[in-house]
């Protein structure tokens, strides 16, 4: 088959990179499209994935609306030129293009509709198939909706797909017994981020002051780092971040994706932003698996108290690895599922609907 994968966010390079490699090995023709997103393009280059670039990103609602028409037209032309059979991605564009071409679309979405209302309104109705974690099954109720027991992050951080590499510690001068922390500061520029608050500048200062009493601090940011924090900036290869998250004592930030990445790796994961209490997959990590903690912007004091409490536990990392085992027992190797879903299409659709134990083979 001729497959098109549209990348809209750096995290989605990770979501699909193993899938891309396997599908190419199965002799499918796989084409990648991406907008001018520097971090996403850098990751694609890191993993040796060739891509077709189209369009510039916009951060305003009006700009996004105008550009969406351009995106749709660009992808439609690519679909027709390359004779694409299936379009795959997390984008509105893939959904729209499937309605003005012969291509069928699989749209992957792990967010609640209340969190991303515009995406739900303008992507979901146009997708041939909407694929989501089963924690969202209360929202994904149409026959064309597919839910699976997993998270996006388990497409690349499931133990069958990821092994931590201790050499990344040596590269940063970190002793194996040394405590260190990964901090992530988000930019909040997406359409669903309007009105959303994360860590303030003063809270970042206080957070770093608290953590440096216990160990080393490394900061990664979505946008430019504040000048006063430059000495803490993480300087490593993009694909080293997961090993660093695995070995770190704690992850703290205001990013949804990295919060869950740390959680599925078995690292205590704390976030502070306005999304807390509204994102089902993170609520599951917090309430069911006890791997993560969420705090609203007014609860910074509770966040710092929880940090001190956790760091007083000498068995913290081993306890979290046990919690991780419980979570993994319920979940699947998401890449293996994606491969069968697409490689066996359309038969896979009926298999999912007719076989109650369909997902057991991916555990």
What pLDDT is stored for residue 196 in this prediction? Answer: 60
| Strand, coil or helix: 352 | helix
Q: Are 74 and 54 in contact (CB under 8 A)?
A: yes
Provide the pLDDT for residue 113: 95
Residues 6+ apart with CB under 8 A from 147: 131, 132, 133, 134, 136, 137, 140
Full strand arrangement of the beta sheet holding 86-89: 52-53, 29-34, 2-7, 86-89, 104-108, 129-133, 145-148
Contact assessment for residue 4 and residue 23, using Cβ atoms and an 8 Å cutoff: no
Strand pairing of 216-221 and 180-185?
parallel
The SS3 call for residue 82 is helix
Residue-wise pLDDT tens digits, 15-52:
999 999 999 999 999 999 999 999 899 999 999 999 99
pTM as predicted: 0.93
Q: For residue 114, how many other CB atoms are within 10 A of its CB?
A: 12
CA distance 83 to 99: 15
Model pLDDT for residues 107-144, shown as the tens digit of each residue: 999 999 999 999 999 999 999 999 999 999 999 999 99
Instruction: Give the pLDDT band of residue 59 (cuts 50, 70, 90).
Output: low
Q: Which residues pair with 185 in a beta bridge?
A: 221
Compute CA distances 350 → 75, 89, 335, whole Å.
29, 21, 19
Q: 308 by DSSP, 3-state: which?
A: helix
- 46: number of Cβ within 10 Å: 13
Overall average pLDDT of the 249-271 stretch? 96
Q: What is the pLDDT of residue 147?
A: 98
Ordered domains of the chain (ranges, CATH): 2-158+331-362 (3.40.50.2000), 167-330 (3.40.50.2000)
* Pairwise CA distance, residues 265 & 130, whole Å: 26
Share of the chain above pLDDT 90, in %: 85
- Cα radius of gyration (the chain): 20
DSSP 286: H
Q: How many Å apart are CA 3 and CA 86, to the nearest integer?
A: 5
What's 99's DSSP letter?
Answer: T
Task: With cut-offs at 50, 70 and 90, classify the pLDDT of residue 194.
Answer: very low
Residue 334 pLDDT > 90: yes
Three-state SS at 34: strand
């Amino acid at each position: 088959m001729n497959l098109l994968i549209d990348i809209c966010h750096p995290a989605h390079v990770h979501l699909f990179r193993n899938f891309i490699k396997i599908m190419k090995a199965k002799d499918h023709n796989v084409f990648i499209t991406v907008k001018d997103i520097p971090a996403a393009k850098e990751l694609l280059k890191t993993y040796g994935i060739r891509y077709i670039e189209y369009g510039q990103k916009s951060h305003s609602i009006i700009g996004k609306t105008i550009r969406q028409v351009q995106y749709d037209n660009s992808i439609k032309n690519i679909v027709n030129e390359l004779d694409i059979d299936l379009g795959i991605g997390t984008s509105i564009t893939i959904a729209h293009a499937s309605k003005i071409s012969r291509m069928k679309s699989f749209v992957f979405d792990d967010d609640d509709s209340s969190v991303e209302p515009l995406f739900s309104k303008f992507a979901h109705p146009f997708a041939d198939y909407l694929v989501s974690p089963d924690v969202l099954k209360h929202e994904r109720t149409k026959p064309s909706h597919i839910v699976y027991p997993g998270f996006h992050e388990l497409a690349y951080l499931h133990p069958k797909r990821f092994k931590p590499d201790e050499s990344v510690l040596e590269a940063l001068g970190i002793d194996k017994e040394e405590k260190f922390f990964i901090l992530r500061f988000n930019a909040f520029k997406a359409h669903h981020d309007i009105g959303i608050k994360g860590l303030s500048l003063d809270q970042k200062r206080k957070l770093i002051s608290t953590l440096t009493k216990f160990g080393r601090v490394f900061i990664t940011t979505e946008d430019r780092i504040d000048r006063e924090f430059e000495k803490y900036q993480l300087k490593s290869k993009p694909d080293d971040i997961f090993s660093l998250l695995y070995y770190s004592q704690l992850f703290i930030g205001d990013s949804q994706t990295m919060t869950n990445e740390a959680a599925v790796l078995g690292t205590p994961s704390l976030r502070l932003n306005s999304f807390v209490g509204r994102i089902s997959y993170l609520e599951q990590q917090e309430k069911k698996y006890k791997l993560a903690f969420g705090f609203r912007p007014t609860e910074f004091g509770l966040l710092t108290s929880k940090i001190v409490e956790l760091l007083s536990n000498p068995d913290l990392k081993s306890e979290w690895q046990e919690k991780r085992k419980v979570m993994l027992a319920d979940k699947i190797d998401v890449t293996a599922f994606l491969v069968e879903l697409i490689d066996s299409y359309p038969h896979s659709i009926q298999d999912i609907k007719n076989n109650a134990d369909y997902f057991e083979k991916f555990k």
